[in-house]
Amino acid sequence: MSGNKFTDTFRHKGLRKKLTETVRQKGISDENVLRAMEAVPRHWFFDSGFLEFAYEDKAFPIAAGQTISQPFTVAFQTQLLQVKKGDKILEVGTGSGYQASILYQMGAKVFSVERQRALYSKAKEMLPAAGYLIKTFFGDGYKGLPAFAPFDKIIVTAGAPYIPDALKEQLKPGGILVIPVDDDDYQIMTSVKRNADGSFETMQHGRFRFVPLLGDKAHD
Ligand code: SAM
């Protein structure tokens, strides 16, 4: 990676401060989330064609027909996770690596799985070069990562047709899963808490729009 790729100027920092304020005004109140958003240079995760838009509160295309999520959505999902320093977190859908880096910045141990080979390969190289020591995996997130389970938190960053049992089962007692679940042409942001007695509590948090969680026909 060239040094240029990881420059972070006063202009970038200013744009990030503004973006963080926008996200705050839209309802994010967890100061740890806002601090992480102000710290992580979102432009590092962009393809060059869209660089000038890196600090807009919008989703943008990345490789393989996928997207880097809208900052508000990243903040909203992260807030629902109630991240604590030292949490062991599984992310399904590495994509650009931005969401995983926000979690890492908050002091979590992050495991992230991606179903598209090109995105996995890029993130595996880029994240450590940028200083984000995230464990990346190529695989099908529907299955979670049983070899590394259980997790304190699990976040899914693509729209799922249903809540996979494998993910619920890989939560520790007291753990939280945040997943957008399909409902016609949008998704309902859903959180699932695993109680100490093994039962699950599900809550819904409004409509969002995500690219779909890919099944068996994804590209290897
Ligand atoms: N978290 C990403 C970021 O910060 O850039 C945004 C992710 S994008 C909205 C959704 C990602 O989920 C895509 O990269 C897509 O390839 C990935 N994905 C889709 N189905 C998957 C599956 N079954 N397992 C793992 N990743 C999957």
What does the domain layout of the chain look like in residue ranges?
3-208
pLDDT band, residue 216 (cuts 50/70/90): low
The alpha carbon of 93 and the centre of ligand 1 are apart by a number of angstroms equal to 3
In this structure, the number of other CB atoms found within 10 A of the CB of residue 204 comes to 11
Percent of the chain with pLDDT over 70: 96
Q: Does position 217 have pLDDT exceeding 60, yes or no? A: no
pLDDT at 189: 98
The predicted structure's pLDDT at residue 107: 98
Ligand 1 atom index nearest CA of 116: 16
The tens digit of pLDDT for each residue in 159-177 reads 999 999 999 999 999 999 9
Active site (catalytic) residues = 69
- Ligand 1 mean position, distance from CA 158 (Å): 5
Q: Among 50, 57, 2, which Cα is nearest to 24's?
A: 57
Determine the pLDDT at residue 219.
Answer: 45
Atom index in ligand 1 nearest the CA of residue 215 equals: 23
Pocket test for ligand 1, best of 214, 216, 217, 220 (most atoms within 8 A of CB): 214
Note the Cα 28 to chain centre separation in Å.
Answer: 16
- pLDDT tens track for 34-86: 999 999 999 999 987 888 899 999 999 988 888 999 999 999 999 999 999 99
Ligand 1 lined by 167 (C-beta under 6 Å): no
pLDDT average, residue stretch 18-26: 98
116 and 100 in contact (C-beta within 8 Å)?
A: no
What does pLDDT average to over the chain?
A: 94
> Cα(135)–Cα(174) distance, rounded to whole angstroms?
23
Ligand 1 pocket residue status of 77, Cβ below 6 Å: no
pLDDT band at 4 (very low <50, low <70, confident <90, very high): low
86-133 residue pLDDT tens: 999 999 999 999 999 999 999 999 999 999 999 999 999 999 999 999
Distance, in Å, from the CA atom of 137 to the CA atom of 114, rounded to the nearest integer, reads 6
**CB of 214 closer than 6 angstroms to any ligand 1 atom:** yes
For residue 145, report the distance from its CA to the centre of ligand 1, in Å.
15
Tell me what pLDDT residue 2 has.
40
Pick the CATH number of 3-208 from 3.40.720.10, 3.40.50.10800, 3.40.50.11890, 3.40.50.150: 3.40.50.150
What is the pLDDT confidence band of residue 220, given thresholds at 50, 70 and 90?
very low
153 lines ligand 1 (CB under 6 A): no
Q: Is 164 touching ligand 1 by the criterion CB < 6 Å?
A: no
pLDDT on residue 65: 87
User: Is the CB of 32 within 6 Å of ligand 1?
Assistant: no
What mean pLDDT comes out for the span 19-33? 98
The answer to whether 170 and 149 are in contact (CB under 8 A) is yes
